[in-house]
A and B are shown apart, each in its own frame.
Chain A
């Protein structure tokens, strides 16, 4: 009997290839292809008065220079609005190449194609673009003021405005009539996904076959395919998109089609030669996407136990210069803000604002870190006001397990109701209390104080909607060698799908994980998929693999039953150890690979194996289609809700205001776990990004709209020396919404980190932290301001 593979911490099948240097990332492909480079806007907001290419024309190796004027048909139209929404009243999307106006530093103006990238850059730097400056809109305050406009036809710089309520009464009335009230103003700064590999596109046009093959470092090859076909006006069947190994995504690569995903294939078709573009790091900073920046105003009414009676939140969201990905981020913030709590009457209003900066699209967490920051700051403020324990306030507001499924009364980002399917939040808080040492902390604080050290403890809890639809699919095939090939349309960027999806298929088919090969993100192999984002891959694709493999198992039983004869029916059989065998008599069995041979009745025998399947030998006759294979889809009814809580202990230096994390603890519940080793790794990585977002990383624009820290020298991604050891504990509340009981895990680690770290700094310092990230110098300024207030009061 096979031990069940789902649930085992197997090492990853994909690792040896990647570790030997045999991975194939975008820039490893297309040796000898022509190279594209771009002239990008050096200014934040301007009209383009002229483009002079004279000096560039003599560069040896130049192949082509393109501006907006050169683009034909739909390529000259703005890029699509991927996710329309009724609240998005003034959507504006960019052109592939700027059409007379630039709206952020880094916007593509001219494309150059040359024999290699060095030459392409030589050409690009000789092209003179004349800009007539327009006043830039930088930051949420300036956008809200509305005196300067990013787009003249978007008054007040407002892209979208939305109000949601949870149907539990008027929030303002509930707050006004509550025994206690508080208001908080909060601020989160810009950050970015910043995968180690930037974007990249390679295109090959076959003029004889009239087929376009595009490789792209994307999180959705199937959707890139359809978008490219639409823009280039090609029949979709003439376009193939393949995602090679991807060096991280974290959200930014779900956006599509990027201008380069249209321009590079178009250039390859136009020139009849392969063309490749690989984004450099500065381009990634100034021309891909950012996230996080929000201002929030929270008003809350509560009782003496800290129970929320009414909650009203206003959000001003900086969406950058364009909104090709719609307003998913503020929608997620406004809905996931509620976390594991019951909040009484809730009203949330957001305004999504244009600024002359890089576009804002989901980065791991996708609006949740901001929402959790608002809710958890509120919980801490209530505890401070009432003089009670911060965990007690949270406990007083928790949704109880017996209240599941719990309807929050809102519409989630997938357009479905925000109904939590399962979860045990009281146990979760008890576990984090123990893990982080909450109860013994006062003794620890006193001991530290005795040494002149200042420490504090903080906490943050969240609920995360994962595994949203519309669907994912998989094709599962047993080869006559016994190898099982699983093809799924979604892409992979390091989440270990070659292993976790193999575990699922292997369990269903009774084979070893080594017998299963998983193929992802190749539209030649599987054309229908949505993409890898929003912690959805394992839930949607994992269940699709199980469904497809289940169909294959049924088919194998039918064929095996016919081949074994003797009155055996398919129900008598099971798939174990690579064989289809009789439950009652395991010696009566047939190899799964032989069943694969029999599944394809042949006229011609070309080896010993196929002899068994020729028309005079085979005895299947089940009426099945040839091939031991099947396709399956999983279409979730709605999202499934994972949850977690983080606890952190920080030390702040009384003199330098340096902030150091002493202890970081995570309790995590993502339902049934397919591979604990992989989930643990996802949590670690998320926490590291969360710590970056709490203490180090921020995208800084100056007043002119220049991105002043567009390099790894100045945008401070944590090194190993900045990330503490992370202690984790797991709990499992299975999802009842999908056959495997799974919930997503990809984003979890990053979600409550800023909230928990802010909570700990507040606790250490005895002052309010309302803005993240926080640097030592900002903490120093907060201390000074608080000191000044105290002196004023005493004076």
Chain B
């Protein structure tokens, strides 16, 4: 049997990308296998660990639980799209380096995307809110303390950069 292919167009990090995919291809696999965007990682493939989190129309979703065809016509932001326009580290990425918020780096893309979306919703979180905000992502290396710090630092950096732009 030959698998039927479906034409899809997904706006990935601001660029319209076309693809022909089988109906069962996961969005994560479409990004990784078809587009070569390997920054999105798969840690469990059952929606718990959050490593594969990306933003679908700005909202964090698990890309291991969505078919690529379901993203047809939608906009996706991956960790690669969380950099500044000039290619330098975005505020959340920079905060992770500043605070040693990553060790092996495998879960990190899911945190970066989750926190990027969260800071749009809550630009000035308390420490407790920061911890709650990352409460849906697993990290096996850091013990989370420095990631909590990074959320707070990212909020500061984001505000600084935004006020510098104004």
Q: Which residues of A contact B (CB under 8 A)?
A: 11-12, 14-16, 18-25, 27-28, 31, 59-60, 116, 118, 194-197, 245-248, 250, 280-281, 493-496, 677-678, 680-682, 684-689, 711-713, 717, 719-721, 723, 725-726, 749
Instruction: Decide yes or no: A18 and B49 within 8 Å by CB, A11-B97, A684-B142 being known contacts.
Output: no
Contact status of A21 and B51, CB under 8 A, knowing A31-B36, A248-B104, A281-B46: no
Known: A245-B105, A248-B106. A21 touches B39 (CB 8 A): yes
Q: A16, A59, A678, A682 — which one has the most chain B CB atoms within 10 A of its CB?
A: A16
- Closest CB in chain B relative to A454 CB, distance in Å: 23
User: In the complex, what residues of A have CB within 8 A of residue B38's CB?
Assistant: 21, 24-25, 27-28
Selected A-B contacts with CB under 8 Å, 25 pairs: A11-B98, A19-B93, A19-B105, A20-B83, A22-B39, A23-B39, A27-B38, A116-B33, A195-B106, A245-B104, A248-B103, A494-B105, A496-B103, A684-B143, A684-B144, A685-B103, A685-B141, A687-B143, A688-B144, A712-B43, A712-B46, A719-B138, A720-B131, A720-B144, A720-B148
B142 and A688 contact, CB distance less than 8 A: yes
5 cross-chain pairs, A with B, having the tightest CB-CB distances, nearest first:
A21-B39, A247-B106, A494-B104, A684-B143, A18-B105
Which residues of B approach A to under 8 Å, CB–CB? 1-2, 22, 24-25, 32-33, 36-46, 48-49, 51, 78-80, 83, 89, 93, 96-98, 100, 102-109, 112, 131-132, 134-148
Which residue from chain B places its CB closest to the CB of A713 in the assembled complex?
B48
Knowing A16-B89, A19-B96, A720-B134, the reply to whether A688 touches B45 (Cβ < 8 A) is no
Identify A25's interface contact among B41, B140, B145, CB under 8 A.
B41
Tell me the bound Cα distance from A494 to B103 in angstroms.
4
- Within 8 Å by CB of B93, from A20, A25, A59, A725, lies A20
A356 CA / B117 CA spacing, docked (Å): 46
Contacts of A248 in B (CB 8 A): 103-104, 106, 140-141
Closest to B113 in A: A21
Report chain A residues within 8 Å CB of B102: 15, 18-19, 494
Say whether B104 contacts A21, CB under 8 Å: no
Q: Are B141 and A31 in contact (CB-based, < 8 A)?
A: no
Residue in B closest to A681 when the chains form the complex, CB atoms: B100
Rounded to whole angstroms, the CA-CA distance of A116 and B96 in the bound complex is 35
Q: Which residues from B are CB-within-8-Å of A21?
A: 37-40, 78-80, 109
**What's the Cα separation between A245 and B134 when bound, in Å?**
24
Chain A: minimal CB distance from B85 (Å): 14
The smallest beta-carbon distance between B102 and chain A, in angstroms, is 6
Q: A60-B2, A281-B46, A711-B44 are in contact. Are A717 and B104 (CB under 8 A)?
A: no
Instruction: Select the residue from A14, A197, A246, A711 with max chain B CB neighbours within 10 A.
Output: A197
- B104→A197 contact, CB < 8 A: yes
Q: Which residue among A60, A248, A677, A680 has the maximum number of chain B CB atoms within 10 Å of its CB?
A: A248
A19 to B100, alpha carbons, bound, how many Å? 11
Q: Using Cβ atoms and an 8 Å threshold, which residues of chain B touch A195?
A: 104, 106, 140
B132 near A721 with CB under 8 A, answer: yes
**From B49, which residue of chain A is reached at the shortest CB distance?**
A712
B98 touches A194 (CB 8 A): no
Provide the residues of chain A in CB contact with B51, threshold 8 Å: 196
Query: In the bound complex, what is the Cα–Cα distance between A214 and B145 (angstroms)?
Result: 36
In the complex, the answer to whether A196 meets B43 with C-beta atoms within 8 Å is yes
Chain A residues near B46 (CB-CB < 8 A): 281, 711-713
- Give the one of B37, B102, B106 with max A CB within 10 A: B106
Complex interface: chain B residues within 8 A of A25 (CB)? 38, 41, 106
CB contacts (< 8 Å) of A22 on chain B: these are 39
A118 to B5, CA, bound (A): 14
Distance A687 CA – B140 CA, assembled complex (angstroms):
11
The one of A15, A60, A712, A713 in contact with B1, judged by C-beta atoms closer than 8 angstroms, is: A60
B21 CB to closest chain A CB, in angstroms? Answer: 11
Asked if A197 meets B142 with Cβ closer than 8 Å, knowing A20-B89, A719-B135, the reply is no
Minimum CB distance partner of B132 in chain A:
A721
B140 with A15: CB separation less than 8 A: no
Smallest CB separation, B38 vs chain A (Å): 4
With A28-B32, A712-B43 known, 11 other A-B pairs at CB within 8 A are A12-B97, A20-B93, A31-B33, A59-B1, A60-B1, A245-B105, A495-B103, A681-B141, A712-B46, A719-B138, A721-B132
From the candidates A59, A60, A197, name the one contacting B41 in the complex (CB within 8 A).
A197
Q: Looking across the interface, which residue of chain A has its beta carbon closest to that of B134? A: A720
Contact of A685 among B25, B83, B140 (CB under 8 A): B140
List the B residue with the shortest CB-CB distance to A712.
B48
- Give bound CA distance, A680 to B143, whole Å: 10
In the assembled complex, the Cα of A20 lies from the Cα of B48 at a distance in Å of 23
* Whole-angstrom distance between the Cβ of A274 and the nearest chain B Cβ: 14
CA distance A712 to B110 in the complex (A): 16
Give chain B nearest CB distance to A281 CB in angstroms. 4
Shortest beta-carbon distance, A280 to chain B, in Å? Answer: 6
Q: A24-B38, A250-B140 are in contact. Are A711 and B146 (CB under 8 A)?
A: no
- The distance from the CB of A499 to the nearest CB of chain B, in whole angstroms, is 10
CA distance A678 to B142 in the complex (A): 10
Given A28-B38, A247-B104, A712-B46, A15-B146 contact (CB < 8 Å): no
Given contacts A19-B112, A721-B131, contact A493 B104 (CB under 8 A): yes
Separation in Å of the A358 CB from the closest CB of chain B?
Answer: 18
Complex contact B22–A20 (CB within 8 A): no
Chain A residue contacts of B89, Cβ below 8 A: 16, 19-20
Docked complex Cα distance between A19 and B116 (Å):
13
Interchain CB contact under 8 A, A680 and B134 = no
Q: How far is the CB of A451 from chain B (nearest CB, A)?
A: 21
Least Cβ distance of B130 to chain A in Å? 9
B144 is contacted by which of A194, A196, A682, A723 (Cβ under 8 Å)?
A723
**Inter-subunit contact A719/B96 (CB<8 Å):** no
The answer to whether B135 touches A681, judged by C-beta atoms less than 8 angstroms apart, is no
The CA-CA distance from A720 to B40 in the complex, in Å, is 21
Q: How far is the CA of A720 from the CA of B93 in the complex (A)?
A: 19
Measured CB to CB, the closest approach of chain B to A699, in angstroms, equals: 15
Q: How far is the CA of A111 from the CA of B140 in the complex (A)?
A: 30
Residue from the set A11, A59, A60 with the largest chain B CB neighbour count within 10 Å: A11
- Residue A27 contacts which of B42, B48, B100 (CB distance < 8 angstroms)? B42
Taking a contact as CB atoms under 8 Å apart, the answer to whether B138 and A712 are in contact is: yes
Whether B103 and A681, one on each chain, are in contact in the complex, defined by CB atoms closer than 8 angstroms, is yes
What's the minimum C-beta distance from A184 to chain B, rounded to whole angstroms?
A: 30
Report the separation of the CA atoms of residues A248 and B41 in the bound assembly, to the nearest whole angstrom.
13
For B97, give the chain A residue with the smallest CB separation. Answer: A15
CA of A19 to CA of B102, assembled, Å: 9
Rounded to whole angstroms, the CA-CA distance of A248 and B134 in the bound complex is: 20
How far is it, in angstroms, between the C-alpha of A246 and the C-alpha of B140 when the chains are bound?
A: 13
Shortest distance from the beta carbon of B113 to any chain A beta carbon, whole Å:
10
Complex interface: chain B residues within 8 A of A494 (CB): 102-105, 141
With A16-B89, A280-B45, A712-B48 known to touch, is A246 a contact of B104 (CB < 8 Å)? yes
The answer to whether A197 and B43 touch across the interface, beta carbons within 8 angstroms, is: yes
In this complex, which of A23, A493, A495 has the most chain B Cβ atoms within 10 angstroms of its Cβ? A23
A218 to chain B minimum Cβ distance, whole angstroms, is: 14
Q: Are A681 and B146 in contact (CB under 8 A)?
A: yes
Chain A residues with CB under 8 Å of B39's CB are 20-23
Name the CB-closest residue of A to B112. Answer: A19
Q: Which of B24, B44, B49 has the most CB of A within 10 A?
A: B44
Q: Contacts A713-B46, A719-B138: A685 and B100 contacting too (C-beta < 8 A)? A: no
Contact A678 B93, beta carbon cutoff 8 Å: no
* Set B33, B98, B145: member contacting A725, Cβ < 8 A: B145
Q: CA separation between A24 and B39, bound complex, in Å? A: 8
Whole-angstrom CA separation of A686 from B148 in the bound complex: 17
Nearest Cβ on chain B to A478's Cβ, whole angstroms: 27
Chain B neighbourhood of A723, CB < 8 A: 143-145
